[in-house]
Amino acid sequence: MPGKEIKELRQSGQLEKALELALAEYRQEPDNIWTKRNLSWVYYEYAKSNCATATLQAFCENLQALAELQLPEDEKLLFDNIGWLMVKMGFALMKERELQPEEKEQLFVAVKAFHFSKPSQVYSSLFNLFHKIYKDTDNYLTFADWWGFENFRPEDYAEEKMPNGKPMIALVEQAYISYAKLLLPRQNISGGIAFNKERATAFLSKMEELEKNHPEYQYPSFYRAKLLLALGDQNNVLSAILPFAKKKQNAFWVWQILSEAFPSEGDIQFACYCKGLLCPAPDEMTVNLRTQIVPLLIERKMWNEARTEIDKIIEVRKSKNWKISDSLLSYQRSEWYRSASRKRDNKFIYKEYAPTAEAILFRDIPEENVMVSHLNPDKKMLNFITSDGRNGFFKYDRFLKKVAIGDILRVRFQKREESGFCQLATLSKGEDEILHKQYIKHFKGKIRISKTNKFGFVEDVFIMANLCEKYTLSDADLVEGEAIKSFDKKKKQWGWRAYIIHS
């Protein structure tokens, strides 16, 4: 058998002679595995030479000829070397020019004829190549299904580093994001909506498993939520998107997605739009969000605010030479629009409603009822007490304008420090009759005032000196008011302290 001679010829670069000898041998024994191997390596060397010159047509023809030999699947050494050739050729072509659809198809048809080691570095490199070739095209799904997401290596799950040192999300995360995006409903050529519900449902379980094993990934939860919305699964949207939304809460488009989770709750949608419009972003990027909020402003008869947004939208569209929609022109012709005054911006209104939207992010944190036990209006700080006697303090002005001692507040705590200072997730006024009765009581009786310290008592209720002075109270005066139960740290005991005197 001339196998040795064929090998020497191809290794010395005499490919024509090697091919002639290998073909003659193969024609004599077409079913002999050794004749197939000898010929296959000659085709490999031809394809390798095509890589050096970036000659796509000849490259694919040589791989096609090699594939027609129908070598068994265990010829991994040859197949993996072919894989590296494909990676080299593909990236060389992309560096040289933008590939045409038919060229992309040529490469895929050529590569899918072989049986590579799985998982392996070369197989992951092939994925990386075709991920870039087919990204954002329908063929991506076909390629990804052929490749098989179960074949990723442990290294593919790790964050990568770009040449400039900047981090880049893991190849696996990129793959799942691209796949999920292409499963979302899209308008087809005929104007209808293309959406494969069965395929989307099947992929959801894979995304959920990925999120469970890799909670550090940010974007899969976002796209899983988008798929759930498309499937009409409103119940699970929030649990899917909340981890992502918390990390990306300063991105306006996150609030657009969150608003879609509440299709029948206009107040929450409105709050989401408000929060989104407070996020930093170029005006041209928030045009759609502004357009969405206009009908809700009109519905609330917030005419000035609605005109402000309409004028802003039109200005941006004109500056970009974009079309002005009929609905915007219709607004301008309306009587309410002509009567309204444009404001500088709507930030004041949006700041007022944004906390309602922000509260969505923390629905997984239990809400507690607390009572205001002390107040510092100048610093916008308050102290609180809970039903089990725990104390703490926090700033309230981000959520509420006015509070008073004895108010019941509904709170979600984001963080509680040993000092007692609390960082809030949400805050709103509430009601809790049991908590109120536990710490508040009405009192009435004659006051006993200390001659030295000027404070007083009505039975067991302590009246601070400043209240005695404010209401010019004298010893034995009849005094009526409200008292709150408070803990004396020095005496280490509970007592009653007046906070309201009825004059």
pLDDT in tens, 127-177: 999 999 998 888 999 999 999 999 999 999 998 877 777 888 999 999 999
135 vs 52, 131, 138, 180, 276, CA distance in Å? Answer: 26, 5, 8, 12, 29
Strand pairing of 408-416 and 422-429? antiparallel
Q: Could you tell me if 316 and 346 are in contact, meaning their C-beta atoms sit under 8 angstroms apart?
A: no
Average pLDDT over residues 483-491: 85
The torsion defined by the Cα of 492, 497, 499 and 502, in degrees rounded to 10, comes to 180
What CATH number should be reported for the domain whose range is 365-431? 2.40.50.140
Mean pLDDT value across the chain: 89
Average pLDDT over residues 90-97: 90
Please give the pLDDT value at position 85: 93
Backbone angles phi, psi at 319, to 5 degrees: -65, -25
Please give the pLDDT value at position 161: 79
Q: Is the pLDDT score of 110 beyond 80?
A: yes
Tell me, yes or no, if the two domains 365-431 and 438-501 fold the same way: yes
Strand pairing of 193-194 and 186-187? antiparallel
Residues of the chain with pLDDT > 90: what percent? 55
Average pLDDT over residues 258-279: 90
Alpha helix stretches (DSSP H) within 29-138: 33-53, 56-67, 76-96, 101-111, 121-134
Please give the pLDDT value at position 132: 94
Contacts of 41 (CB under 8 A, 6+ apart): 6, 7, 10, 78
Please give the pLDDT value at position 437: 93
Q: Check residue 501 and give left, alpha or beta (phi > 0: left; psi -120 to 50: alpha).
A: beta
CA neighbor of 225 nearest in space, from 249, 208, 250:
208
Range with the poorest average pLDDT among 69-78, 172-181, 398-407, 486-495: 486-495
CA neighbor of 112 nearest in space, from 86, 76, 138, 150:
86
Q: Confidence band (pLDDT; 50, 70, 90) for 215?
A: confident
Q: Is the pLDDT score of 298 beyond 90?
A: yes
Between CA 269 and CA 261 the distance in angstroms is: 9
pLDDT in tens, 352-385: 899 888 888 888 788 999 999 999 999 999 999 9
Alpha helix stretches (DSSP H) within 232-280: 234-247, 252-260, 266-278
Residue spans of the domains in the chain: they are 3-236, 250-358, 365-431, 438-501
Please give the pLDDT value at position 364: 79
Q: Confidence band (pLDDT; 50, 70, 90) for 1?
A: low
Q: Could you tell me the pTM of the whole model?
A: 0.68
Backbone angles phi, psi at 290, to 5 degrees: -65, -40
Average pLDDT over residues 210-234: 86
224 vs 276, 302, 439, CA distance in Å? Answer: 21, 35, 46
3-class SS letters over 86-114: HHHHHHHHHHHCCCCHHHHHHHHHHHCCC
The torsion defined by the Cα of 402, 408, 410 and 411, in degrees rounded to 10, comes to 80
Q: Could you tell me if 253 and 273 are in contact, meaning their C-beta atoms sit under 8 angstroms apart?
A: no
Please give the pLDDT value at position 318: 94
438-501: CATH topology is OB fold (Dihydrolipoamide Acetyltransferase, E2P) (2.40.50)
Between CA 435 and CA 441 the distance in angstroms is: 11
What token pair was written down for 12? 């010395």
